[in-house]
Chain A
Amino acid sequence: MLDQEERLRPGMPEIKPVLQRHFKEVSDFVMKSIRLGFNGQAVLISYLSVVVDEDKLSRDIIQPLILKAETIEQVESILEPVRLGSYERWEDINKGMWKGHVFLYLDGEAHAYLLNMSSWPSAQVKEPDNESTLKGTRSGFIDSNHTNLALIRHHIPEERLIQQEVRTGHEGKIHAVMLYHPDKADPANVTELNARLRRIDSQALMSMGELAESLEDNNYSMLPQLLLTERPDVVASGIMEGKIAILMGHTSQVMLAPMTFLSFFLSADDRNLRWPVVTFFRLLRFIGLVIAIFLPSFYIAAVSYHYEIIPIDLVLSVGKSLERVPVPPILEALFMELILEMLREASLRLPPKVGQSVGIVGGIVIGQAAVEAGLVSNVMVIVVALTAIASFVQPNQDMAAAVRLLRFPFMIAAFLMGLVGIVIGIMVLVTHIISMQSLKAPYGSPLFPIDTKKWRSVLARLPQGGFRNRADSAVAGNDPQADSSSRSKR
């Protein structure tokens, strides 16, 4: 309906009908005519009221134009701070107005102005609910690029940060911002990410997850390859480690790339707690990872094939508890795991008040009654509960979900081939992890390619050196903290 090349024709009587035609079906469309105070020149102001800060418009533009301006130069100086430019093509003007800009036309001129007065509704900065930490920062990202950038800059006192805007998607409608440190980020990764961003050809991206999916290296993988976070401290430390952050104005998630498999097991708290504690917690997470993936399958393998590995004291009680259950362990395990996943999913979606009853139903009915009725064995309930707890230990929700999903193929492999099946599964999984890339960086790093120097900073956290070390190194001009954590450049 809109002619691409339709241009603005000067003169108030020309413009008004065009605007009215373009915004015929838009309920919040506002058009105001005012006259300049000093010479009575007609001014047309038009905008969409829900996305424009009307108070500001009235205070900073309309009132001064009517009351204060005494020369044409003063008019210019009133408009100057918010003016985006002068436009003649109706297409540009319409696009601008949809984004929350204000259309302003001074009668007699050949072009119109767009003023930046947009005000999108946005949430308050508060601590992200699903990434809470003990001692981390209390602010989280919101659905606004300005705030998000400010939050990140607040964490990084560094003037050299590069903030690169990328317009992409169908007709360049998607607007993303790449943020990285020029000395730390690998240029190859920057180029690659830029190229991938530009290749996106969708009309609109609703969320960061969608963007991540179109940027990921391996869409078939169960494992997350890019980090989505709502925490500015995570993004800031990521940037200082040489990662690239991607912001997209309308989501509260910020993406970090490239990621390695092991970096999904680090938490924002790791930098705030004391190192022995952190090292212990990390160990706990890796143990949790092993339990969450392998425990059910190991149990199935043990009772179906390798009863030799069960200690003699245990074999009798396990056997007695299995005797009552009519189905093979794999069905029992699948049944319990599916119930568990349903409980988890249900408690996620339900409002908190109803959510409590899910816990009661899950805990009492499934846990106790199913055992009493002889549908599942006691040991299986313990196995499933342990698995659940172990998967909840993971700091990253995407990785935790992947881990929960991974145990099903392992259970089936264990059912078919016992421990041999599990070993085959491990081989496939490890091959998969070390063969993957995130951008141009190896996903399995530093386990593979082997880089033993970095192992200690990923698997454990060692003391960074007290104030004595730091004082010395400050003289020498290098910071041990930054060195140990920064990625080496290739």
Chain B
Amino acid sequence: MKLTKSLVLTLILIAATGCADRTELDESSLVTIIGMDTNDNRELSITGMVLDFNEESKSQEILLSGKVQSLREARTVLGAKSAGEFLSGKLQVLLISRSLLQKNEMMPYLDVVFRDAKFSNSALLAACDCSVKKLMEGKWNSQPILTEYIRKLIETGHRSEMTVRTTLQNFHYMQTEEGVTAAISEIKPVGKEIAVTGTMLLNHSGKMALHLNKEESALLLLLQNEIELPVSYTTTIHGEEGDSVVSFDMKKAKAKVRTAYSNGKFQFHIRVPIRAEIAELDGPYHLAADKKLIESLLTDEVEHAFKRLIGKLQAHKVDPVGYGLYARAFQYKQWKEVREDWGAAFGQADVDIQATIAIDSFGVIE
């Protein structure tokens, strides 16, 4: 009888509380891409891609756009144009145009994304080096559904070390964490395709600071220890008998950081030991005999590339790798004084980077 009572009670509770926020899947408009762009006024121009469940319609997605002042307002404006209830729980990609990133800080715009629990925080954040509307309206060659296309583009781009993969959740962390600055992927229409162009680095306030190309992005990922081995890398070595192109697979690579503080500056000693397997080499080298030579030439090249990257980061006062986290962990006293603007302090820091390449093999042919 106890069971009967509790069952009845439960049923009453369920009946009394439920029902309110049920939305059937086919009666909702699931937005999968939100694109944000500026226009000349202080308004945002918003483009939304909504899944189309109608079986008769040819396309699988519907493009909605409007001008708003905030992202939350977009829900009303775009919602008014869509047949079902406008829901953002299945958001896959949040696109932000480069011009908007150059002009304004991002966090105030994205406030609703983090405040509203129903917003999907696993959506990927990407910058777009063109008008967002143009990108979303376009008919691209390899496009089954644009959402899928862009998402897979970024994910495979990340897997082949061409760009970072930043979800809204990651972005929130990188923006609120003092010891690191944000990095997001960047895409761009190229002819009839969309292509990953590299990584967009933002400063502490969330404005665009620097663009990294694909090669630099790979090095950045290496420094972040965010790579999926093996990483393939191509460079040119400058030997005595002229330049030759070398491609190699990094079989093992890990950045190790030591920190110190002296002369009023943070010191970072970064070691990147890399074990490589040569995949392609078009120079006049005797592979086995010249192993040491090739290793040292490669080391020079890679180290130089790292140094260039670090120099760029320091010049633009951004720290996407998160050296600030090391500084806080090991030099807390000094860190406390600069925590308000770590980027600037990192710009001042002495960064010493050493890469060492050890060649494991030259492939299956001699």
Contact = CB atoms under 8 A, between A and B. Distances in A.
B148 A307 contact: no
B90 interface: yes
Contacts of A310: 25
Contact of A307 (B4, B13, B87): B87
A428 B90 contact: no
B53 A313 contact: no
A221 interface: yes
Interface residues of B, number: 35
For A318, A319, A416, A424, the residue with the greatest tally of chain B CB atoms inside 10 Å of its CB is A319
A315 B24 contact: no
B25 A312 contact: no
Contacts of A288: none
A307 B25 contact: yes
A305 interface: yes
Contacts of B21: 305
B133 to A, nearest CB: 22
B282 interface: no
A313 B60 CA distance: 12
A429 to B, nearest CB: 11
Interface in B45-94: 51, 53-55, 60, 87, 89-90, 92
A323 B53 contact: yes
Given A315-B51, A428-B7, A432-B3, A307 B30 contact: yes
B55 A324 contact: yes
B203 interface: no
Contacts of A329: 24
Interface string A380-412: 000000000000000000000000000000000
B190 interface: no
Contacts of A325: 26
Contact of A418 (B4, B22, B51): B22
A421 to B, nearest CB: 6
Given A315-B25, A416-B15, A308 B54 contact: no
Interface string A189-226: 00000000000000000000000000000101100000
A428 B92 contact: no
B357 to A, nearest CB: 40
Nearest to B32: A312
Contacts of B151: 312
Interface in A422-446: 424, 428, 431-432
Nearest to B89: A308
Contact of A316 (B24, B28, B120, B145): B145
Contacts of A312: 32, 90, 92, 147-148, 151
A304 B20 CA distance: 11
B142 interface: no
A320 interface: yes
A330 to B, nearest CB: 10
Contacts of B92: 312
Contacts of B15: 416
A325 B26 CA distance: 9
Contacts of A416: 14-15, 18-19
B18 A428 contact: no
A315 B90 contact: yes
A308 B119 CA distance: 10
Contacts of A413: 14
A3 to B, nearest CB: 46
Main secondary structure, interface of A, reads helix
A424 B12 CA distance: 12
Contact of A308 (B14, B19, B55, B90): B90
Contact of A318 (B23, B25, B87): B25
Contact of B53 (A304, A320, A417, A418): A320
A361 to B, nearest CB: 27
Contact of B24 (A220, A304, A313, A417): A304
A420 B285 CA distance: 68
A304 B19 contact: no
A303 interface: yes
Nearest to B51: A316
B10 interface: yes
Contact of A323 (B26, B30, B89, B147): B26
Task: With a 10 A CB-CB cut-off, give which of A303, A316, A324, A325 has the most chain B CB atoms.
Answer: A316
Given A416-B14, A421-B18, A304 B23 contact: yes
Among B15, B25, B151, residue most surrounded by chain A Cβ atoms (within 10 Å):
B25
Contacts of A355: none
A239 interface: no
Nearest to A325: B26
Contacts of A315: 25, 30, 51, 90
A218 B7 CA distance: 15
Nearest to B120: A308
Interface string A120-149: 000000000000000000000000000000
A303 B3 contact: no
B141 interface: no
Nearest to B16: A416
A421 B18 CA distance: 9
Given A303-B24, A304-B22, A312-B148, A319 B14 contact: no
B6 interface: yes
A307 B21 CA distance: 13
A322 interface: yes
B41 interface: no
Contacts of B25: 303-304, 307, 310, 315, 318-319, 322
A320 B55 contact: yes
Contacts of A319: 25-26, 30, 51, 53
B17 interface: yes
A328 interface: yes
A312 B23 CA distance: 17
A308 B28 CA distance: 12
Given A304-B22, A417-B17, 17 more contacts: A220-B1, A220-B4, A305-B23, A307-B30, A307-B90, A310-B25, A312-B90, A316-B60, A319-B26, A322-B26, A323-B54, A323-B55, A328-B24, A413-B14, A415-B22, A424-B14, A431-B6
28 contacts: A218-B3, A220-B1, A221-B3, A304-B24, A304-B25, A305-B23, A307-B25, A307-B87, A307-B89, A308-B120, A312-B32, A312-B90, A315-B25, A320-B55, A322-B24, A322-B53, A323-B26, A323-B53, A324-B55, A325-B26, A328-B24, A416-B15, A416-B18, A417-B17, A421-B14, A421-B18, A424-B13, A428-B7
Closest 10 CB pairs of A and B: A416-B18, A319-B53, A322-B26, A323-B53, A303-B25, A417-B18, A308-B89, A323-B26, A416-B14, A307-B25
